[in-house]
Amino acid sequence: MKKILSSSLVVFICVLIVVVFSLIGCKTATTTTAAATETTQVAGKKFTVGYDIYWTGNAWSLQLAEEFKYAIQKEYSDVLKNVYYTSSDGDASKNLNNFEDLVAKGCDIIFILPITPDNLVKSINNAMDKGIKVVVFGSAINSHNYTAFVNISDYDWGVKSAEYIAKAVGGKGTVAMINGIAGTGAANDTHAGAMSVFKKYPDINTLPEVYGDWDSSKTKIVMRDLLAAHPKIDGIWTFSEPGSIIEVYIEDHLPFVPIVFHGENREMKYWKEYKDKGLEAEVVSKPSTMSVDALHIGMAALMGKPYEKENMLPVPTYTYADIDKLILPDLPDRVRVPTYLPKEKLKELFK
CA gap 322, 65 in Å, rounded:
27
Question: Which residues have a Cβ under 8 Å from the Cβ of 186 and sit 6 or more positions away?
Answer: 138, 139, 140, 154, 180, 239, 286
Instruction: State the pLDDT at residue 32.
Output: 35
Give the pLDDT band (50/70/90) at residue 42: low
Residue of 197, 199, 198, 240 lying closest to 220 (CA atoms): 240
CA gap 161, 236 in Å, rounded:
10
Q: How far is CA 243 from the centre of its chain?
A: 16
Instruction: State the pLDDT at residue 12.
Output: 38
Torsion sign (Cα): 55, 70, 43, 84: positive
Q: What is the mean pLDDT of residues 4-23?
A: 37
Give the pLDDT band (50/70/90) at residue 5: very low
Q: What is the mean pLDDT of residues 206-229?
A: 97
Strand 47-53 versus strand 80-87 pairing type: parallel
Q: What is the mean pLDDT of residues 105-120?
A: 97
Is residue 98 within 8 A of residue 88, CB to CB? The reply is: yes
**264: pLDDT strictly greater than 70:** yes
Give the pLDDT band (50/70/90) at residue 1: very low
Is residue 36 within 8 A of residue 301, CB to CB? The reply is: yes
**317: pLDDT strictly greater than 70:** yes
Instruction: State the pLDDT at residue 58.
Output: 85
Instruction: State the pLDDT at residue 185.
Output: 92
Helices (H), 261-320: 265-274, 290-302
Question: How long is the chain?
Answer: 351
Q: What is the mean pLDDT of residues 159-163?
A: 98
**313: pLDDT strictly greater than 90:** yes
Instruction: State the pLDDT at residue 226.
Output: 98
Instruction: State the pLDDT at residue 286.
Output: 96
Residue 42 DSSP one-character state: -
Other Cβ atoms closer than 10 A to 63: 26
Residue of 107, 84, 144, 142 lying closest to 309 (CA atoms): 144
Above pLDDT 70, what percent of the chain? 88
Q: Domain 3-152+287-336 belongs to what architecture?
A: 3-Layer(aba) Sandwich (3.40)
Q: What is the mean pLDDT of residues 274-293?
A: 97
Above pLDDT 90, what percent of the chain? 85
Instruction: State the pLDDT at residue 43.
Output: 65
**69: pLDDT strictly greater than 60:** yes
Task: Name the segment(s) of the chain with CATH classification 3.40.50.2300.
Answer: 3-152+287-336, 154-284
Q: Which of 25-34, 151-160, 313-322 has the lowest mean pLDDT?
A: 25-34
Q: What φ, ψ does residue 159 adopt, rounded to 5°? A: -65, -50
Instruction: State the pLDDT at residue 351.
Output: 83
Other Cβ atoms closer than 10 A to 82: 13
Instruction: State the pLDDT at residue 142.
Output: 97
Q: What is the mean pLDDT of residues 76-90?
A: 97
**37: pLDDT strictly greater than 50:** no
| CATH superfamily, region 154-284 | Response regulator (3.40.50.2300)
Residue of 105, 91, 118 lying closest to 50 (CA atoms): 105
Strand 204-206 versus strand 173-179 pairing type: parallel
